Amino acid sequence: MGCPEPGEVRRKALLTFVIVGGGATGVEYAGALSELVRGPLVRDYRTIDFRDVRIIILEAADSLVANMPTSVCLYTLERLKRMGVDVHLGAKVLEVAPDTVILSGQDNISTRTVVWTAGVKGEPIANLSGLATERGGRVPVLPTLQAPGHPEIYVVGDMASIRENGRVLPMVAQVAIQSAIAAAQNILRQIEGKTPQPFRYRDRGAMITIGPKEISSVRKQAGGRMMIPLHLISGENKQKMNEVHLSFWK
């Protein structure tokens, strides 16, 4: 077999979509892209052989959505594979070059489209203000959400590294909203000369949807009733969350 033509190499790179990060955002993105590519785009671009389209998730850990129960992680992997998504676990990205993703100890991937979902960094303002920060520029806070040594400074939302029961709370909207409310209440307490109270996070559950197609197929099974499939869910009672649940809107 000879070397592929330069045009062929370019075409393959253009049809390769690399998603860095197999957390909730990466998984949702890959699912939605797969549905789009294998669905409407097939009808719109009849000259393209869609068997050449590759959707790849690169995840440094050995599991997708690693903070979810194991059965949910396995379900996600299986589901994405069935949708034609190529999942590379233990794949650590070293560099994203203009037309290549460079991996540690694995073959590089030629692509023109890279979607980065492997995390965000806090604004450098915390560091610049002299506050200690940890991974991602987040400020480790006391249970009251105050910065250590600074009872006059509260840090909430993505900027805060809030530790509860030995784990750092995830960077999600629920944590941001609840911590903001708790900090506001503590500020009012301080103004009234009272002691600030520790923040307690109420995990109301999480949902990751892997493409819209599943919604319609489940809806059909339910005789047309409106349903939301909760592919992946975790909540206050994690014991009960060892399988994939379906939730219904009646």
Ligand X SMILES: Cc1cc2nc3c(=O)[nH]c(=O)nc-3n(C[C@H](O)[C@H](O)[C@H](O)COP(=O)(O)OP(=O)(O)OC[C@H]3O[C@@H](n4cnc5c(N)ncnc54)[C@H](O)[C@@H]3O)c2cc1C
Instruction: Give the interface with ligand X as residue ranges (CB under 6 A).
Output: 25, 120, 123, 125, 157-158, 171-174, 176
Question: Which of 157/211 has CB closer to ligand X?
Answer: 157
- Is residue 154 within 8 Å of residue 186, measured between CB atoms? yes
Catalytic residue of the set 28, 152, 192, 243: 28
Q: Where are the alpha helices (DSSP H) in the chain?
A: 6-14, 24-38, 40-44, 70-82, 125-128, 173-191, 213-221
122 half-sphere exposure, CB direction, 13 A CA radius? 23
Nearest to ligand X of 123, 236 (CB atom): 123
| CB nearer to ligand X: pick between 80 and 126 | 126
d(CA 101, CA 58): 10
Task: Give the Cα separation of 82 and 73 in Å (integer).
Answer: 14
CB of 123 to ligand X, least distance (A): 4
Q: How far is the CB of 46 from ligand X (least distance, A)?
A: 32
Give the separation between CA 69 and CA 105, rounded to whole angstroms: 29
Told to judge if 28 belongs to the known catalytic residues of this protein, a careful annotator would answer yes
Q: Which C-beta is closer to ligand X: that of 103 or that of 155? A: 155
Q: How far is the CB of 221 from ligand X (least distance, A)?
A: 26
> Could you give the angle at the alpha carbon of 120 between the alpha carbons of 116 and 124, nearest 5°?
135
In the bound state, the residue with its beta carbon closest to ligand X is 157
Could you tell me the smallest distance in angstroms from the CB atom of residue 172 to ligand X?
3
Q: Which residues are catalytic?
A: 28
